[in-house]
Amino acid sequence: MPVKPVPLGFVFRSRAKDEKAPADKTVTLSKQPRDPQAPKGRPTPKRSEAQSQRRSVAHTPTSRKEASKRQREDRRQALERQRQALATGDERYLPARDKGPVRKFARNWVDSRFNVAEFFLPLAVVILVLSVVRVPAIQSVALLLWLVVIVLIVLDAAFSGFRLKKRLAERFPDENTRGAVAYALMRSLQMRRLRLPKPQVKRGERP
């Protein structure tokens, strides 16, 4: 029986073309328009969800440099919010040591009264000037003033601490008030206009 010669093109033709053919056909079929009534296989996201996803993708840093820049910007904004909170008393952005109703009450209690300790700096300047004068009588007066100021500050701090501790126990019986008295006494050492957060009550006003 005679054997028909096989064309060389059939033997050596590329198999890659044969393998690509079904894929090309599949791609061609996939490009056909989808029926609008046909189900998509997944629920349609809400507009708010889609917008939040787009924002998250847009704000995602793509490099280490961009991530560092974003962190610096976030830190700067946090510090700016904290600075404004210290001036306005906004509880949301205050530092941790100033947050909470207990600390707020302690601040208001100190700011509502006169404290001997807040006049320490101006009195110290006056006493130092008097002590520089080379007159024995004036220097003796300066030394006496030093002793009087220190004694008054200690007595006022002890009395204020005792009263504040009692008020805190009455006002916040079920909350932790540890450290609030020391926090208030440290605030009383500062001049009123230099205190942070800024005073929110007037002198004589009941907190």
Q: Give the list of residues 6+ apart from residue 149 with CB closer than 8 angstroms, or none.
A: 116, 120, 123, 124, 127
pLDDT of 1 > 80? The answer is no
Q: Which helix (H) or strand (E) holds 191?
A: none
Q: What per-residue confidence (pLDDT) applies to 52?
A: 61
pLDDT, tens only, 23-48: 444 444 444 455 555 455 555 656 66
pLDDT score at 2: 52
Task: Give tens-digit pLDDT for 69-87.
Answer: 888 888 888 888 888 888 8
Yes or no: say if 196 and 125 are a contact pair by the CB < 8 Å rule.
no
Q: What band does 55 get if pLDDT is binned at 50, 70 and 90?
A: low
- Give residue 44's pLDDT: 61
Q: What is the pLDDT of residues 155-207, one digit of tens each?
A: 999 999 999 999 999 999 999 999 999 999 999 999 999 999 999 999 988 88
State the maximum Cα–Cα separation within the chain, in Å, rounded to a whole number. 145
Q: Which amino acid is at 68?
A: S
pLDDT at 78: 87
Mean pLDDT of 114-134: 92
First to last CA, the chain: 118
Three-state DSSP class for residue 54: helix
Task: Yes or no: say if 206 and 112 are a contact pair by the CB < 8 Å rule.
Answer: yes
pTM recorded for the entire structure: 0.65
